[in-house]
Amino acid sequence: MVRIEPQSPGHAPGLFTALSDERSYAFLDERPPSTVEAVRDRIARLAEVAPSGSGETWRNWTVFDGKVIVGYTQATIDGGGDADLAYVLHPEAWGHSVGYEACRLTLIELRSDPAVRRVVADTERGNRRSRALLDRLGFEPVREDGPDLFYRLPANAS
């Protein structure tokens, strides 16, 4: 059973294991964490208020498949009410609907937040798994910019 929990420092060891596989970063501009402490520091940074003057709110969840941590979902909510959905999962979770369930649960959380007016996401054209996930969740493509594809979730999407 897939579930999400707000990220906490206690999730750091499990997230370190889940996020250490290089394959998860093929389409990301970051590298796997170097230590459990680096993950703990990231969680602490993300738990703080967004940078002053940014008008953003950060929301971060740890994804569990049963009792095992397999990744995270997150959203950056801007001052205009756009929540930018993102996710990273361990490759062993790919292809088993874990990403779909985790994002579906994240969307439920976001829809309950009165600051969120619209949910958006982006991925690279070559990331067919992410594109398929966004399609399955009901996102619609809205524009392209080089290798990047940008999506929005219609208000009536499930």
DSSP string for residues in 116-138 = --EEEEEEETT-HHHHHHHHHHT
Q: Provide mean pLDDT across the span 102-119.
A: 96
The topology under which CATH files domain 2-153 is: Aminopeptidase (3.40.630)
Q: Of 84, 80, 60, 83, which is closest to residue 72 (Cα–Cα)?
A: 60
Instruction: Reply yes or no on whether the pLDDT at 52 is more than 80.
Output: no
Model's pTM, two decimal places? 0.93
Enumerate the β-bridge partners of residue 57: 77
- The β-bridge partners of 122 are 150
User: At 158, is the pLDDT very low, low, confident or very high (cuts 50, 70, 90)?
Assistant: low
Single-letter code of the amino acid located at 27: F
Q: Given a cut of 80, is residue 74 above it in pLDDT?
A: yes
